[in-house]
Structure 1
Amino acid sequence: MRIRQRTDDGYFKLADEFRKLLLNGSFSDDMREQFGNIIEYYGQDPYIVRSSSILEDGFGNAFAGKYESVFCANRGSFEDRLKEFENAIKIVYASTMGLSALDYRKRRGLDKRDEQMALLVQRVSGSYYMPSAAGVGYSYSPYRFLQTADPKAGMLRLVMGLGTSAVDRTEGSYPRLVSLDMPERSVYSSAADRHKFSQRNAEVINSSEQKLETVSLDALEPVLSRYMGNVLLEHDFEAEQRLSEMGRYRAVRFISCQGLVKNKKLMDSMRRMLTRIQSEYDYPVDTEFTINFSDDGEYTIDLLQCRPLQVVKGKNSVDIPADVTEEHILLSSRGASMGLSREEQLDYIVYVDPIGYYNMPYKDKITVAQMIGRINWHFRNAGKHMMLMVPGRIGTSSQELGVPTMFSDISGFDVICEMEESKAGYNPELSYGSHIFQDLVEAEILYTAVFNNSKTLAFYPEKLNRFENVAAEFDDSGALSEIVKIFKVEKCTLYHDINKEQLLITL
């Protein structure tokens, strides 16, 4: 099966069958005995099984989030723990046959290369069930989320607990973004905004339930030591004041990792660590780490993973026409885009109607992502330039926040645009440092957003209705073509200047 799958004809066609065979296979008695030795080594401490392949850890291809990592609670009888370990190994190996991984290897010209997989088994860092904090660290920041920041200083995407929310876009949760040359600076000026766009939940190992679990701050706060609470949490004094005025006196705290970013020694350590690794690699790096604090203020940093960071360079500026009349503007914005400067003609704009998507039954929303995937794969090698416009967040696992696409569903688009729709609660949010962020960087896909604020200078989506909608050709059910519209646009030009932070799309 492995030999057949690696042929041009079988590469995608046989992948699902091969994946199922891997998941249902069995190990030899000798191998199971060696697995038992590993189980005994870890005792009943939780651990994670993660991939380390030859292609994944090479230069120029980050493979961020393409292969699975599996947390194991490691509790119960020996046979239960052994079964859990074997299942984790199968899941990691089977993920090499996932559509996103196959598509990624194909796009990077790696589909003919032999993908040999090793595994890392790492004890979960931290006392009890989670580390104090975790995250991803870049030695070079490909995009500046603080305009005065130095990209060469590097950046962190920092969360409390296990690092899941640092690399994935999780429901209602925002990590702390840290520019290492000014670690205490935030993109939000008020405590209310910092609270609104903060981490809501933390990922922990539930030892009694033997599973990875997402736990609210309300549930975690009572078990945090006073010191840890002071390091990881911040008071929303404005909210406390409002409650006090109503005669309700209580503390209002949120996760901000404020004590970590204020710790100059720790931030210097992170910056020196990233600089040193970049120097040894002679290349920018993308790392994953945990941080653990004791109540006397001492800390340890565990480096969990390191890989070369794909940094794309392009031309610095584009001449954006200043004399375009309003009737020809589809979208004009400042400070709402991330990506290289470019000027290009668009052939298709795929537009997901925000209200129509909101009104869909929850269970049916996945069909929108599937239709976008069909469009993507139909046009990916056709030499067409496409833009995708969706409500809320792209690539989220929470359908109430946006469209739950995988990167393989959007890999052929030139531009991704997230749209705010306040009536439905959809808010754009580019997850700097997340796996999908890194995918956009590597694929040179321009990201932009439409906000209901001063960043959006003009936006007239109704003008798209003057063009032919060819969605019916991709709508298997016949129910989606009024929600997912595919406009075959003419004389549609996109201009983006990274230096001026300006984007203009004309019709």
Structure 2
Amino acid sequence: VNVAPEEIEYYSPKMIDVINLKNNTFETIRISDLLRMHGDQYPGIEKMVLVNESGRIRKPLAMSIDFEKDDLLMTFEGLLNDTSFIKKVRAILNVLEKTINTPVDIEFAHDGTDFYLLQCRPQSYSQDTAPAPIPKDMPEENIVFSANRHVSNGRVPDITHIVYVDPAKYGEISSHEELIQVGRAVGKLNKFLPKRQFVLMGPGRWGSRGDIKLGVNVTYSDINNTAVLMEIARNTGGYRPDLSFGTHFFQDLVEGQIRYLPLYPDDEGIIFNERFLSTSTNLLADVLPEYAGLSDTVKLIDIPREKNGKVLRVLMNADLGEAVGILVDPASSTEAVESTVEDQSKPTDHLWIWRLRMAEHIASQLDPARFGVAGLYVFGSTKNATAGLASDIDLIVHFRGTENQLEELKIWFEAWSLCLDEINYLRTGYRAGGLLDVHFVTDEDIAAKSSFAVKIGAVTDAARPLKLKEPGVS
């Protein structure tokens, strides 16, 4: 709770997203400007703001707000503390939870009199919310980072890659366009790297939209495949940047079961292995040659390659208020699934092995001459041994045939997809409507390294080639 006047002023929101009805556009403007122009049109505005009088914070008197002159802070303090609004919302949530039989989150509007329910949806649920044991007396050379602020519970095993945006180098960038390019590079890596097997570490506020010097300018689609989103607050010239604490993407992070962790490397007792992050081989130029110029700022680290097969494991314990990222040997299947309750989001050996065998069998039945196929590759969770009950089999087809061959090939794969989905349903009780996710690439795609062709022969996490049916084999 912020009690000092300077803290109330400092942490009160300054910007707001609005719809400009005249221009038919979304805009981000200062709250002070909005209140100055239209504050008197908002019902109950006196319950939403406080008045800052030269460092003295007070509640406004009804009908006495001078929107032109008063220094107004948007805190919603009156609404939260002096009305029954929170009790009413809690009652609505309780009714919805009992009716739907699961906790929900809602979106709503309020005009000062009536409450309008705009959206209601079940909250996402993760079984991996128990506090993780934090090992003691770990060799410091095996610790990548530690944290003791705003720690939640959880365990994220077997991280193979780190995308690290160096805070110091990012702060040195003076070109707005280059700052934008950093965000674009992160978005490209997010699509390229294996889902939930990498972490993003960067300065300040991920998703910063106003002053992008405060953090990397990304949208949720640019970070949605990461396992953990980390924000780094380093002291620079006596100044420590604010963190967003995931608020730019909060609901998306919850729904996507992406962990959030703030890092304060300069705090006493905290470990931050900057040497490992800065001296490890940077694969950015190999993976995204068009962004090679950002190699000083954006690092792509292949952990097993750097550490003799080890991976990063993130352990988080809210009860202790501690988190740690440690380098360990990859988990066995029994370590990966600690709960006796089967979690559909977690990998087990039989799921990926069966999928890989099916991919190999499909390849052995695919006639290259008949369909105009030059190669078939498997990638994603099947190739990386992380497939769960809901995972499909990701395939890349190197195609050189005619349009008629392509149509016939798509029908052939669709038949396999539906057949495997039925088998998977009989094995697991899970039906997806099709188990194959097939992507077609051409010679031109491979030459340009566009689309999914970048996975073929990639420096890291390359797609695995499958042996096709040999000529003359029936």
Larger C-alpha radius of gyration, 1 or 2? Answer: 2
Contact 2:146 2:272 (C-alpha < 8 Å) held by counterparts: yes
Structure 1 residues 504 and 378: alpha-carbon distance in aligned structure 2, compared to 1, 3 A threshold: same
Structure 1 residues 209 and 437: alpha-carbon distance in aligned structure 2, compared to 1, 3 A threshold: closer
- Within the candidate set 121, 130, 141, 1:307 is matched to 121
SS in 2 for 1:314: coil
- Is the aligned partner of 1:482 residue 2:296? yes
1:452 Cα deviation (Å)?
6.1
Distance in 2 separating the partners of 1:331 and 1:314: 21
- Within the candidate set 380, 385, 392, 2:204 is matched to 392
- Within the candidate set 23, 29, 39, 1:224 is matched to 39
- Is the aligned partner of 1:261 residue 2:80? yes
1:362 Cα deviation (Å)?
0.6
Contact 1:234 1:256 (C-alpha < 8 Å) held by counterparts: yes
- After TM superposition, list the pairs within 5 Å mapping 1:78-477 onto structure 2: 186=1, 188-204=2-18, 212-222=26-36, 223-225=38-40, 228-236=44-52, 239-240=55-56, 252-293=71-112, 299-338=113-152, 340-342=153-155, 344-360=157-173, 361-380=175-194, 385-398=197-210, 399-423=212-236, 426-432=241-247, 436-451=249-264, 454=267, 457-473=270-286, 474-477=288-291
1:210 Cα deviation (Å)?
5.8
SS in 2 for 1:286: strand
Contact 1:334 1:455 (C-alpha < 8 Å) held by counterparts: no
Contact 1:450 1:456 (C-alpha < 8 Å) held by counterparts: no
Counterpart in 2 of 1:44? none
SS in 1 for 2:84: helix
Aligned AA (1:501):
G
Distance in 1 separating the partners of 2:246 and 2:163: 22
Distance in 2 separating the partners of 1:455 and 1:292: 48
**Residue deviations 1:214-260, cap 9 Å, x none?**
4434334455349845311113467249xxxxxxxx86431101110
Counterpart in 2 of 1:495? 315
Contact 2:163 2:200 (C-alpha < 8 Å) held by counterparts: yes
**Residue deviations 1:449-470, cap 9 Å, x none?**
1136758722232233443222
Structure 1 residues 405 and 201: alpha-carbon distance in aligned structure 2, compared to 1, 3 A threshold: closer
**Residue deviations 1:112-159, cap 9 Å, x none?**
xxxxxxxxxxxxxxxxxxxxxxxxxxxxxxxxxxxxxxxxxxxxxxxx
Aligned AA (1:288):
E
Counterpart in 2 of 1:504? 324
Higher relative contact order (CA 8 A, sep 6+): 1
Aligned AA (1:468):
T
Under a length normalisation based on structure 2, what TM-score does the superposition of the two structures give?
0.57
Contact 2:228 2:260 (C-alpha < 8 Å) held by counterparts: yes
Distance in 2 separating the partners of 1:237 and 1:452: 36
Structure 1 residues 207 and 369: alpha-carbon distance in aligned structure 2, compared to 1, 3 A threshold: closer
**Residue deviations 1:81-107, cap 9 Å, x none?**
xxxxxxxxxxxxxxxxxxxxxxxxxxx
Distance in 1 separating the partners of 2:45 and 2:204: 32
Counterpart in 1 of 2:419? none
Distance in 2 separating the partners of 1:351 and 1:330: 12
SS in 2 for 1:394: coil
1:327 Cα deviation (Å)?
4.2
Aligned AA (2:10):
K
Distance in 1 separating the partners of 2:163 and 2:267: 25
Distance in 1 separating the partners of 2:279 and 2:16: 47
**Residue deviations 1:376-396, cap 9 Å, x none?**
222226xx8222111112233
1:194 Cα deviation (Å)?
2.4
Q: Percent identity, aligned pairs only?
A: 24
1:303 Cα deviation (Å)?
1.6
Distance in 2 separating the partners of 1:401 and 1:337: 22
Distance in 2 separating the partners of 1:447 and 1:315: 13
RMSD: 3.0
Contact 1:284 1:311 (C-alpha < 8 Å) held by counterparts: no
